[in-house]
Amino acid sequence: MNKAVTVVGGGAIGLSTAWELSQRGFIVTVIDKGVTGRGTSWAGAGILPPANLKNSYDPIDRLRGLSHTLFPRWAEKLKADTGIDPELKRCGGLYLAESAGEIAAMSGMTEYWHEMSIECNQLTADEILDREPALARWWHETSNASVWHVPDEYQLRSPRYLQALAAACRQSGVSFFENTDVTDIRCLNGNAEIQYEGHWRTTDNIVLTSGVWTGQIAASLELELSIVPIRGQMLLLKTASPLVKNVINMGQRYILAREDGHTLIGSNEEESGFELGTTDSVLKSLLEFALHLLPELKSAEQVKAWSGLRPMTFDGFPMIGRVPGVANLHIAAGHHRSGLHLSPGTAVLIADMLSEKIPDIPVDAFQIRKQQPNNAARSCTNT
């Protein structure tokens, strides 16, 4: 008899997990308090920086490497099965540095990439102008700037990725309960029950993939401090055709252009609790950043702006695993700036755990509880 799984939260992590589980024969239901694919994942830029599974040792780099390896096949299958193209492109990334601090930070980063055998080359002036002619004015007007090229960087169109995942889930028999808020979790005899629509219900397995809201759902799990919302704002411009081919990165900010000329400018990090919204000052600084690098964007149409809440954990590792002491409860949340990138790898890890298969990469660093400050979290007790 196939086992049933309820996935709470239909973002990139929840939908990927649901898709992977349904393909392995589980009977899957996704519950979302809103419409699936409209949480933080929708707000994300869809940048997948380079990674190398084979030559990485840090747990997060291994998870990134696993996802990076899976993504091309994953995106191809989504497109073939659903007809929705997530627009995964190995477009490459350019990393720009102007100040001494930025150059020092990039030198450290390039050394780290080299240790993982990730290709990364500092470009000459001719090479920069050849790769991205639109950077010519910035390059000529900025003394002491440096630029590195990373061929193995991808971009993904996040809303299309989420649409494709939801469609693929439906095709493989996943049921959806949208606009359904899971309001609490309790444990009875070592098994979890979730409450929604006024009733307590349980199933063979429950996976919490509720992004930044994961800690809030279950007071009894005492995980409310494990995930901190970090708001990021984004500005969308439109030109007749794309001005740049690569993802242009500088510090924490970036510019990337879709094939139809939509150009994303991101982002910032701010602690604003669970409050979404944009501010004039941040949008102004994003626009100034973009115009500084690409003055041609001056005539671009300003299409819209939005924000999203990144689920940050204190130790930088997401929570992926079973809640200690609760047989049927797993969590996959806290992917901060990388949840789109890490979604296929996370889905495979959770599906391996529920299938009682030993995952291909070590998962100790992701265990639940570590992320709570002072390790205060405990499993929910019998009530």
Cβ of residue 207: shortest distance to ligand FAD, in angstroms?
Answer: 11
340 binds ligand FAD (CB under 6 A): yes
In the complex with ligand FAD, which residue's Cβ is closer, 163 or 338?
A: 338
Residue 157 or residue 322: which is nearer to ligand FAD going by CB? 157
Question: For ligand FAD, what does the binding mask look like between residues 12 and 51, x meaning CB under 6 A?
Answer: xxx----------------xxxx----xxx-xxxxx----
The one among 59, 215, 308, 359 contacting ligand FAD by CB under 6 A = 308
Report, in Å, the least distance between residue 306 CB and ligand FAD: 8
Does 193 engage in binding with ligand FAD (CB under 6 A)?
Answer: no
The yes or no reply on residue 213 touching ligand FAD (CB under 6 A) is yes
Q: Rule CB under 6 A: say whether 92 interacts with ligand FAD.
A: no
Residues 249-288 that bind ligand FAD (CB under 6 A): 266-267
Q: Which of 33, 29, 34 is nearest to 15 (CA)?
A: 29
Cβ closest to ligand FAD, residue 140 vs residue 201: 201
* Per CB under 6 A, 321 contacts ligand FAD: no
**Which residue in 91, 319, 333, 354 binds ligand FAD (CB under 6 A)?**
333
Q: Which residues bind ligand FAD (CB under 6 A)?
A: 8-14, 31-34, 39-41, 43-47, 181-182, 209-213, 217, 232, 234, 266-267, 308, 310-311, 333, 335-341
